[in-house]
A and B are shown apart, each in its own frame.
Chain A
Amino acid sequence: MNEKTLDVTIINPFINATLACLSQMAKIESKRERIFVKSSNKMHGSVSGIIGLTNGITGSVAVSFPQNLARLIVARLLGDAPEKLSDAVIGDGIGEVANMVAGGAKRAFAETEHRFNISTPTVIMGDQTSMFNPAPAVTIACEFSTSISKDETFLIEIAFRPNKE
């Protein structure tokens, strides 16, 4: 047999890092709503920060926010009024969020077989954006609600290649 196994617990350190990042840096409480295998390439929101992962885990981590929620979060990070922020500043801020989420998970995996390195963040903005992860990568996603925008959610997604058993 050459079946591929999927260790969904890989997402847990990324979830913890997301909660810590928003709570500590922006004083925003987030709540994990659901974890699922993501089959669509379409990004959840119109502002997404993406970090490449190499070595122990090969793939990427993305954090994706609706524009309004991204604006509110970056405003909290900077202590600025949301309406004052340009798209460039919002993009920078979401890139930093992605960096801290990936960095936090990297620390959690540091002493394990999944130990990985991370790239610098890339941010994509726009409606109807998609991200393609070459097969055989699978994508595990976690949707979060927040204390600052009840009608919007954001997503983190981890795309990685399953281990062969």
Chain B
Amino acid sequence: MSKTVLVVDDSTMMRKIVIRNIDEAGFKVKIVEAEDGAQALKVFMQGGIDIVISDWNMPNMNGLTLIKEIRKTDLGKTVPIFMVTTEGSADNVKEAVLAGATNYLVKPFTAEALKSKLSKVIT
């Protein structure tokens, strides 16, 4: 059964770019989209999400808070969460990992980099 990936970004363009990269990498997954952290949390709580890929800076609820909220739930204790963001300082990475991010990718990124990180959780 294919896995379901929740792609969270307030930029429609960036969601499309991430989804294109997932598709071109050959992963056979179902994609669900959300345009901010608050919407993403609602979608996540409905169940069925296997992987979360989230931006950091978004209105309503940012990616860092989203990670913390997901990790508080029973559903979200082990789900892989990838932060894909322009916020790439060492402090940012540390903060995201401490909040519960599984992995971190800085924009701009190559298709190969995204594929490499996702291949560890999509089999």
Residues of A within 8 A of B107 (CB): 25, 99-100, 103
Instruction: Give the segment of A31-39, A87-95, A136-144 that binds chain B.
Output: A87-95
Residues of A within 8 A of B1 (CB): none
Residue-by-residue, is B47-81 near A (CB-CB < 8 Å gives 1, otherwise 0)?
00000000000000000000000000000000000
Q: Taking A24-B110, A100-B108 as contacts, is the C-beta distance between A95 and B13 under 8 angstroms?
A: yes
Q: Judging by beta carbons under 8 Å apart, are B13 and A25 in contact?
A: no
Give the distance in Å from the alpha carbon of A106 to the alpha carbon of B106 in the complex.
12
Residues of A within 8 A of B13 (CB): 74, 77-78, 89, 92-93, 95-96
Cβ 8 A contact of B14, one of A89, A96, A102 = A96
Q: How far is the CB of A65 from chain B (nearest CB, A)?
A: 15
Q: Judging by beta carbons under 8 Å apart, are B89 and A104 in contact?
A: no
Residues of A within 8 A of B14 (CB): 96
Q: Judging by beta carbons under 8 Å apart, are A78 and B88 in contact?
A: no
Instruction: Give the segment of B16-24, B34-42, B96-104, B115-123 that binds chain A.
Output: B16-24
Q: Taking A92-B11, A103-B88, A107-B88 as contacts, is the C-beta distance between A78 and B108 under 8 angstroms?
A: no
Give the distance in Å from the alpha carbon of A92 to the alpha carbon of B15 in the complex.
11
Sorting the interface of chain B by its residue count into under 10, 10 to 19, 20 to 34 or 35 or more gives 10 to 19
Q: Judging by beta carbons under 8 Å apart, are A79 and B24 in contact?
A: yes
A103, closest chain B residue (CB): B86
Residue-by-residue, is A103-130 near B (CB-CB < 8 Å gives 1, otherwise 0)?
1101100100000000000000000000
A109, closest chain B residue (CB): B89
Q: How far is the CB of A78 from chain B (nearest CB, A)?
A: 6
Give the distance in Å from the alpha carbon of A96 to the alpha carbon of B17 in the complex.
10
Give the contacts of A15-53 with B (CB-CB under 8 A).
20-21, 24-25
Q: Could you list which residues of chain A lie within 8 angstroms of chain B, going by C-beta atoms?
A: 20-21, 24-25, 74, 77-79, 89, 92-93, 95-96, 99-100, 102-104, 106-107, 110
Q: Could you list which residues of chain B lie within 8 angstroms of chain A, going by C-beta atoms?
A: 11-14, 16-17, 20, 24, 86-89, 91, 106-110
A-B contact pairs, 17 of them (CB 8 A): A24-B108, A25-B17, A78-B13, A78-B16, A78-B17, A78-B20, A79-B20, A92-B11, A92-B12, A95-B11, A96-B14, A100-B86, A100-B107, A100-B108, A102-B86, A103-B86, A104-B86
